[in-house]
Structure 1
Amino acid sequence: MAGLMGSGGLGERRTIAARAKGGLLVLGGFVALLFAIELFNALMLRSLNRTFGLRPRSADGLLDILTFPLLHANLNHLLSNSLPLIIFGFLVFLSGLRVFMTALAFSWLGSGLTVWLIGDGGITVGASGLVFGLFAFLLVRGFFNHSWRQILLAVVLFMGYGSILLGVLPFVAGYVSWQAHLGGAAGGVVAALLLRPRGGVTGARS
């Protein structure tokens, strides 16, 4: 019995280690792609922003939802998004690829649709909506999952990064897109809600 428990614990540690390695590879690769796009965009005199940036309430703008988080206004804009994107994305990825992809997809779509619907009319670019979505997912999922460890992590993250949530307010965000932040955060909350464990499954496991 002790041997079974020991092998189970070892298997769990191996799973976490594999997810950590996969998370670093996926997030590192994604951020590297963003930097490659930023370099090409700079060489093209930011023409990609005009072509693939998100234009609210236009028919073509619906397709821009798929591309606008990949573009940035400048290098500093990208740098400001890169570290929190890696940190939050990595922490989400520790729960598995399916969880990460679901949180990312809802953050992406929530951010894009909100900008398309209520954007101020300018062209919006940047991955900050993804940052807000992944962050919001990490903040609320523990309450949906009834997991004290995830709630504790949420408290630590809120203490360290909670001030960024002010970016969803129109009078605080300034020249950045509060609509992208708000929509991304909403998408992250929806993803956490959809991924919560079913009551029957939880009872069966216990």
Structure 2
Amino acid sequence: MGYPQPPPPAAPRHRPLGRLASPLALLALMWLIRVLDSVLPGSFNGLAQHAWNPATLLGIFASPLLHSSWAHLIANTVPFLILGCLVAAQGTARFWYVTLVATVSAGLGAFVLALPGTVTVGASGLVFGYFGYLLASAVSAAGWAQRLLQGGVALLVAAVFGASMLTGLIPRADGISWQAHLCGAAGGVLAAWWIRHRRGPRRQGPADLDWSEHGARGRLG
């Protein structure tokens, strides 16, 4: 005689606010590093990448967490928080994927395109990566409602940060790492394209889904 089997446990539901923990944790780490950099001797910025120095190549993963000053960190905080949370709202795994692609693309871009010995620090490569991802994903979003939502958000961000973000993509001599900005944005677009084509043309719901500087020959991201 058989006995009725209990129903399988329901799959855990991801709470939208819980997804924001990832960008908040990453931002908190940036602030913690800046606090430690202010009270401890020396500087963590020595862990960043140095253009054309292969021994520092792994520093591309540390550079987004490092900032040259409090003003530099504060300038990056607001756009990172807004754009990072918009990406994270589409899913925690997606946030970390876009973050990884933007980190590598921005870091390699600064490593190859900046003058030899240039030290690039700052989260602006990530900021531009998130911006590029949001713009590209809005264009390729399935369904008019999602396109209007993501497109409206992208336009709002462009209206608020557009001038400074566009000038950040242009070569300049004021210590701003346009290389990290431009390549970070390209990485964001690439991440959006890869996600879109890997999943195919099916309809996707939300659940599927630097500012920088140069110092002693350094660049801010």
Shorter-normalised TM-score: what interval?
0.7 to 0.9
Residue equivalent to 1:125? 121
Q: Is the 8 A contact 2:22 2:92 kept in 1?
A: no
Q: Which residue identity is paired with 1:154?
A: A
State which of 32, 37, 41 in structure 1 corresponds to 2:33: 37
Residue equivalent to 2:167? 166
CA shift for structure 1 position 53:
1.6
Q: Is the 8 A contact 1:139 1:158 kept in 2?
A: no
Q: Which has the higher contact order (CA 8 A, sep 6+)?
A: 2
Q: Is the 8 A contact 1:140 1:154 kept in 2?
A: no
Residue equivalent to 1:8? none
RMSD: 1.9
Residue aligned with 2:122, SS = coil
Residue equivalent to 2:23? 27
Residue equivalent to 1:11? none
| 2:107 corresponds to 1:112 | yes
TM-score normalised per structure 2: 0.77
Q: Is the 8 A contact 1:69 1:127 kept in 2?
A: yes
Equivalent runs, 1:166-205 vs 2, <5 Å: 166-171=167-172, 174-196=174-196, 197-199=199-201, 201-202=202-203
CA distance in 2, matches of 1:43, 1:177: 27
Q: Which residue identity is paired with 2:161?
A: Y
CA shift for structure 1 position 165:
2.3
Deviation track 1:45-64 (CA, whole Å, cap 9, x = no partner) reads 452212x1210111112111
Q: Is the 8 A contact 1:139 1:157 kept in 2?
A: no
Residue aligned with 2:67, SS = coil
Identity score, percent: 33
Deviation track 1:44-90 (CA, whole Å, cap 9, x = no partner) reads 3452212x121011111211111111111011101111111111010
CA shift for structure 1 position 174:
2.2
State which of 54, 57, 80 in structure 1 corresponds to 2:52: 57
Structure with the higher fraction of residues in helix conformation:
1
> Structure 1 residues 46, 80: closer, same or farther in 2, change over 3 A?
farther
| 2:156 corresponds to 1:141 | no
Residue aligned with 1:195, SS = helix
Task: Name which of structure 1's ranges 120-129 and 141-150 shifts more when overlaid on structure 2.
Answer: 141-150
TM-score normalised per structure 1: 0.82
CA shift for structure 1 position 129:
0.4
CA distance in 1, matches of 2:176, 2:149: 33
CA shift for structure 1 position 182:
0.9
Residue equivalent to 2:151? 151
Residue aligned with 1:55, SS = coil
Equivalent runs, 1:69-80 vs 2, <5 Å: 69-80=64-75
> Structure 1 residues 127, 46: closer, same or farther in 2, change over 3 A?
farther
CA shift for structure 1 position 202:
4.3
State which of 99, 103, 106 in structure 1 corresponds to 2:98: 103
CA distance in 2, matches of 1:21, 1:48: 30
Deviation track 1:145-187 (CA, whole Å, cap 9, x = no partner) reads 242322222222222222212201013x721111111111111
CA distance in 2, matches of 1:126, 1:114: 14
Q: How many residue pairs are counted as aligned between the two chains?
A: 184
Residue equivalent to 2:62? 67
CA shift for structure 1 position 26:
2.1
